[in-house]
């Protein structure tokens, strides 16, 4: 088990607060590896050290702690969802297709309506001007490039 000061040395950080911030960032993924020692000291198992190293490597590559923690959390979530498979190179698709929920259907319907409304409003001339007299909007030159 590794203490905060051990982790600071392992990760090459200058303060213990940096280690604590990284632990807090991926606390959900580290929870099985965290323990409390004497005097409520935080202890981390070696598997957790590997997760912190991954986080530090991502931070060193230019990502923020928040972005790096999201990657680590999503990887941990995917590993939990897949579980132990017999072949490490093959992930089984265990997702069961569900019927579309009423909320998703309502949101899709609202998005379709808003797209129609936006198209209608874009075609209307500004009040007091005809469509030909209207100055070119700032985004219309970009529309041609895309």
Express each pLDDT in 77-126 by its tens digit.
Answer: 666 655 544 455 555 566 555 667 788 888 999 999 999 999 888 887 66
Residue 125 counted as domain residue: no
Structure tokens at 60: 């060193």
Residue 135 counted as domain residue: no
Residue 15 counted as domain residue: yes
Q: What is the pLDDT at residue 55?
A: 87
CATH of residue 48: 1.10.1660
- Cα distances from 125 to residues 49, 130, 135, 138, in angstroms, run 62, 6, 10, 16
pLDDT at residue 28 above 80? Answer: yes
- Summarize pLDDT for 48-85 with one digit per residue, the tens: 888 888 888 888 888 888 888 888 888 776 666 555 44
Residue-range definition of the domain harbouring residue 52:
4-82
Confirm if 47 and 33 have CB atoms less than 8 A apart: yes
Residue 50 counted as domain residue: yes
Residue 22 counted as domain residue: yes
Structure tokens at 65: 């702690």
């Amino acid at each position: 088990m590794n203490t905060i000061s051990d982790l600071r040395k392992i990760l090459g950080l200058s303060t213990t607060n940096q280690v604590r911030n990284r632990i807090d960032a991926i606390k959900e993924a580290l929870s099985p590896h965290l323990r409390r020692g004497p005097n409520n000291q935080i202890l981390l198992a070696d598997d957790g050290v590997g997760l912190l190293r991954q986080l530090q490597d991502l931070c060193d590559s230019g990502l923020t702690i928040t972005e790096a923690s999201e990657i680590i959390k999503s990887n941990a979530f995917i590993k939990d969802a897949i579980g132990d498979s017999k072949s490490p190179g093959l992930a089984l698709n265990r997702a069961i297709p569900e019927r579309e929920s009423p909320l998703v259907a309502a949101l899709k319907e609202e998005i379709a309506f808003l797209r129609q409304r936006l198209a209608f409003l874009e075609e209307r001339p500004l009040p007091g001007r005809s469509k030909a007299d209207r100055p070119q909007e700032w985004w219309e030159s970009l529309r041609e490039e895309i």
